[in-house]
Amino acid sequence: MTHLDRFIKYVKINTQADDKTGTTPSTERQKDLGRVLVAELLELGLEDAHMDEWGNVYGHLPGKGTRIGLNAHMDTALEVTDEEVKPHLIKEYQGGIIQLANGLEMSPEMFPSLNNHIGHDLVVTDGNTLLGADDKAGIAIIMSALQYFHDHQEVEHSTICVCFTVDEEIGEGPLHFNYEKMNAKYAYTIDGAEIDVIESENFNAKAVHIHVTGVSIHPGEAKGKLINACLVGNDLISLLPQNDTPFDSEGKEGFWHLTEFNGSSDEADIRLIIRDFKESGVENRIECVRHAVDEVKKKYPTSKIEWSIKDQYENMKQYVDKKPIAVKNAREALKKNGIEPVSGYIRGGTDGATFSKYGLVTPNLGTGSYNHHGRFEYLDVQEFEKMIDVVIDIVKR
């Protein structure tokens, strides 16, 4: 089985997550891939390989020295189905438009990054599904690295601690993650795109829920009495900094974002998310919300406004910086493979951010796959294969 065969085998197993079921795993089908992976891990000599009741797959390949963790997630994104993925291989991409089987076109005008892959083999979809390279490319990279050590018993390596998680796409990868079972000193998620990028920074994230109760009275006799909850909410939102939304934000800038506003004249529910690379940036925006709530309470003393803040995830940088060996080791492995490492940051979160917070420092590495979460997802085969060598060097002694 070639590395590419392995990847194709995994993407053909439907593992889409679902944020409505409320179960773990969110979909039973994720366990279909889990069972395949457990069988393969056992064959590769990871004698303790197993899937737990939540669908997470663990296994260890004993070696010497530092215990290094490797993680990838088994589920695929919610935006587009992964049922009946029909991957198509383009040998030595010559540039220009790629015609997908269902008539859709992928052009370098739409996706300029295609120009970075001229001369390489690409795997694309038939246009009806996503590819699932996010994150089955990561899984295949880890499995192929393990295959290497199975085929080269003479090569010394660290103890390799493997975990394939469920439900990353709905932010629940760390929910039932067992740190003691994983038992690694530090780890990597292999879940990114560009292979030269090591991502060790992400947003700090909080969510705010505001509930407004108005005073509802028949509008015909409402003068001086009716307080419309939606209008109160509207006032509140208008008091937040208006040029601080995702529309205005890029790079290392944060934002507040109105994700939901539901209601009637009687009651309104407002949901915001707040993101910033700096903790203080999140706190400042929370202060803005507090101020807006206070002002609106003064203006509408007969309405009731309740609000709460929920922690979502933290920037992993503060934790990763305390254990620089993780990034250093990855940088050295990339360089050894002729790749100049680049420090990257994620305008979002990763499972690794939560792992890092709870003591398992986990930066993110690339997979050589791009345009995740959609029909135009593709894999650069040579980059993907390069990452197998990089991961081998990360754990090699």
Residue ranges in contact with Zn ion by CB under 5 A? 134-135, 191
Secondary structure letter of residue 336 according to DSSP: H
Nearer to Zn ion, 76 or 147 (CB): 76
Cβ atoms 355, 180 nearer than 8 A: no
| Distance, CA of 210 to chain centre | 27
Q: From the CB of 99, what's the least distance to Zn ion, in Å?
A: 27
Q: Is 75 a catalytic residue?
A: yes
Half-sphere exposure of 242 (CA within 13 A, CB side): 5
State the nearest-atom distance from the C-beta of 198 to Zn ion, in Å: 16
CB-wise, 135 or 276, nearer to Zn ion?
135
| Least gap, CB of 290 to Zn ion (angstroms) | 35
By C-beta, is 3 or 372 nearer to Zn ion? 372
Known catalytic residue: 311? no
Q: How far is the CB of 72 from Zn ion (least distance, A)?
A: 8
Rounded to whole angstroms, how far apart are CA atoms 132 and 125?
9
CB of 134 or CB of 314, closer to Zn ion: 134
> Per DSSP, what are the bridge partners of residue 67?
159
Give every CB contact of residue 235 below 8 A, 6+ residues apart in sequence: 296, 299, 300
To Zn ion, the closest distance from the beta carbon of 168 in angstroms equals: 6
**Which segments of 8-117 are extended strands (E)?**
50-51, 57-61, 67-73, 88-90, 98-99, 105-106
For the record, the structure tokens of 202 come out as 């992400």
**Do the strands 159-165 and 67-73 form a parallel or antiparallel pair, or are they unpaired?**
parallel
Question: Whose Cβ is closer to Zn ion: residue 170's or residue 237's?
Answer: 170
Task: Single out the catalytic residue among 82, 121, 168, 314.
Answer: 168
Q: Which of 40, 75, 276, 389 is catalytic?
A: 75
Helices (H), the chain: 3-11, 30-43, 133-151, 179-182, 229-238, 279-299, 317-320, 325-336, 351-357, 381-395
Q: Which residues are catalytic?
A: 75, 168
